[in-house]
Amino acid sequence: MTNKGLIGLFSLLAMLALSLLGTPAAAQPQDNPLERARDHMELGQNAFETGDYETAAEQFVDAYAASPFPAFLYNAGLAYEKWGNKQKAAEMYRRYLDEEPGAADAAEVEVKIRTLLGEIETAPAPGEEAPGVPAVAITEVEMKSLISVRTNPADAKIRVLDDKGGEVSKFEGPAAQTVVRGTYSVEVSHPEYRTVQTDIAVVPGQVYIVVVEMSQGAFLGFVEVKTDVPGAAVYVDDKSQGKVGVTPWGNVLPTGKHTIIVEKPGYRPVQREVEVEIGDQQSLDLELVRVNNGVLLVKTNLPAPGAEVYVDEKRVGSTYTTAPLEHEVPPGRHELRVSSEGMKDYEAEVKIGRGQTTKVLVRMNPKPSRTSAWISFGFSVALFTGGGITGGFALKYKNELDTERNAGRLADDDPRILKGFLLALSADVAFGVGAIVGALCIYYFLRDPLPPSEGRVFDPVDFGEAGDEAEDSPETAEPESAPAEVASRPQVLVTPLITGDAAGLGLAVVF
């Protein structure tokens, strides 16, 4: 065969591969029962995380009505249990067990049902047994998720594996698997096609739809991307299509020019152009460079207007309960001051790293009230003023009496003698009591029975690893346990995967 003939054959095969790449999008209708169930699942998850358990339960029940998978029943039971409706919670859990009798947590759910119905007072402790129920340690539970797999051809064999390679389930044709938080691999095989495998990072309360288009062969190139800092997101050509994976990453790409974009929070983006040829294998070893600045994240316990934040005595913004301050700060050590009217200032030294977030939780405590001091001051002034006026009258009587005594005209029973004595005594008493009240005034001004404003400065961590500010409470200035992870709908990941040489193409699309 001539060179022109070979080129024509390769072009035809490449066009076939590109046509296969477009197949899953057409195979994914926008309005179908599973998509509707997925929408209800997400609404339920959002309501659950905000504490609206009644709405969450209703949404999970609606999800089950759209696509009857046991995971939706379990989540509805969990929401009803959180809401306090024990009867409905037990009913949902029972239906979950009836539809998935081989569930890994069947024994634990059985104990929960009996506990909710009052058949046993509390769930058995580890090592103990409830009547007729195996000993199970009841732990804090999360919502379940669902992996739905559709394949072309439809009779492909599907295996769901956990992160250790253990088989979670095995089935043939379109099916779904209830799963909990973790990393899973979906392996699709068929005797007439190349095996396809794709990884899914599962978070609670999500529906993952995996569409696999298998192919018997195509001529593409293979590109591998590595970074000195693993876990960077990899995009191919168009970022709007979502990331195709994280480093280290490798996959087949159609022949031609492609733009590889690598991004990781806290590092400068890297972009490389690659030319992919048929059967080509390329490896990109990229070095990530941190950005110049770090981020200071400050959260306080004060509602709006909150507290003013100063870095090195320069105001950088304000923060309050629902809106933490995030401000770019040059790397190094800086003086932090958080101030609010009527509250004691909080001061601390913070360390800022390049491409890192330093989180500070601050509990602002009020300044002591000076009302008692001002009242004491008023009484003291009034007593000294009264004593001065009374003493002035007493002195007036004394001068008059001394004048008449020296003139020999003073009578022993002159009423001014008694009046002058009583006025002088009153003045002395007023001055004495005024001095005591004045001392109390000074004490109340100096006294501070309230604790200072408190805070906790966390060590700098890479961008994206500081956690949602909602998981930390400045009320105690101590980190609290992270709640169940709230995740938006996973991005669309178009990951054509191969096993073995670059001539076999399988396409997996995870929604």
In which residue are the tokens 């990072």 written?
Answer: 201
pLDDT classification of 308: cutoffs 50, 70, 90: confident
At residue 216, the pLDDT reads 54
Interatomic CA distance for residues 323 and 469, integer angstroms: 9
Of all residues in the chain, what percent carry a pLDDT higher than 70? 76
At residue 504, the pLDDT reads 38
Beta strands in 340-492 (DSSP E): 346-352, 356-363, 454-457, 461-462, 472-473, 478-479
Q: Which of 219, 210, 201 is nearest to 256 (CA)?
A: 219
Q: What are the C-alpha distances in Å from 181 to residues 14, 27, 87, 202, 205?
A: 38, 28, 27, 5, 9
Judged against a pLDDT cut of 50, whether residue 5 lies above it is answered with no
State how beta strands 478-479 and 461-462 pair.
Answer: unpaired
CB under 8 Å to 359, separation ≥6 — which residues? Answer: 297, 298, 299, 457, 458, 461, 466, 467, 469, 472
**Of 394 and 489, which is predicted with more confidence?**
394
At residue 175, the pLDDT reads 77
Judged against a pLDDT cut of 80, whether residue 268 lies above it is answered with yes
Interatomic CA distance for residues 207 and 406, integer angstroms: 111
Tell me the mean pLDDT in the region 105-123: 81
At residue 497, the pLDDT reads 34
- Give tens-digit pLDDT for 327-350: 888 999 999 999 888 888 899 999
Judged against a pLDDT cut of 60, whether residue 13 lies above it is answered with no
- Pick from 2-11, 206-215, 325-334, 393-402: least confident: 2-11
**Of 351 and 8, which is predicted with more confidence?**
351
**Of 125 and 472, which is predicted with more confidence?**
472
**Of 172 and 111, which is predicted with more confidence?**
111
Phi-psi region of 348 (alpha: psi -120 to 50; beta: other; left: phi over 0): beta
Tell me the mean pLDDT in the region 271-289: 86
Contact yes or no for 233/263 (Cβ under 8 A) = yes
At residue 327, the pLDDT reads 87
pLDDT classification of 488: cutoffs 50, 70, 90: very low
Of all residues in the chain, what percent carry a pLDDT higher than 90? 18
Contacts for 332-336: CB closer than 8 Å, 24+ residues apart = 334/296, 335/311, 336/296, 336/298, 336/309, 336/310, 336/311, 336/360, 336/457
Judged against a pLDDT cut of 60, whether residue 186 lies above it is answered with yes
CB under 8 Å to 301, separation ≥6 — which residues? Answer: 321, 362, 363, 364, 473, 474, 475
Peptide bond before 248: cis, by omega within 30 degrees of 0? yes
**Is 362 strand, coil or helix?**
strand
CA dihedral 232, 238, 242, 244 (to 10 degrees): -60
Between the two ends of the chain, the Cα-to-Cα distance in Å is 43
Contact yes or no for 339/364 (Cβ under 8 A) = no
Mean pLDDT for all residues in the chain: 77
**Of 203 and 127, which is predicted with more confidence?**
203
Q: Which token pair is 153?
A: 């051809």
The β-bridge partners of 233 are: 246, 263
DSSP of 436-451 = HHHHHHHHHHH---SP
CB under 8 Å to 220, separation ≥6 — which residues? Answer: 14, 17, 252, 253, 254, 255, 276, 278, 496, 502, 505
Judged against a pLDDT cut of 70, whether residue 133 lies above it is answered with no
Tell me the mean pLDDT in the region 13-35: 47
pLDDT classification of 322: cutoffs 50, 70, 90: low
Contact yes or no for 386/471 (Cβ under 8 A) = no
Task: List phi, psi (to 5°) of 84.
Answer: 105, 5
**Is 433 strand, coil or helix?**
helix
Tell me the mean pLDDT in the region 129-149: 62
Give me the amino acid identity at 216: Q
- Pick from 6-15, 168-177, 268-277, 375-384: least confident: 6-15
Give me the amino acid identity at 459: D
CB under 8 Å to 58, separation ≥6 — which residues? Answer: 44
Residues in the chain: 511
Give me the amino acid identity at 83: W
Tell me the mean pLDDT in the region 63-72: 90
At residue 262, the pLDDT reads 93
At residue 16, the pLDDT reads 36
At residue 154, the pLDDT reads 83
Q: What are the C-alpha distances in Å from 245 to residues 223, 479, 493?
A: 13, 31, 8
Interatomic CA distance for residues 55 and 78, integer angstroms: 12
- Pick from 59-68, 172-181, 218-227, 307-316: least confident: 218-227
- Give tens-digit pLDDT for 424-463: 888 788 788 878 877 877 766 666 677 888 888 999 988 8
pLDDT classification of 384: cutoffs 50, 70, 90: confident
Phi-psi region of 92 (alpha: psi -120 to 50; beta: other; left: phi over 0): alpha
User: Residue 115: in which H helix or E strand, if any?
Assistant: helix 106-116
**Of 129 and 431, which is predicted with more confidence?**
431
State how beta strands 314-319 and 356-363 pair.
Answer: unpaired
The whole model's pTM is what? 0.40
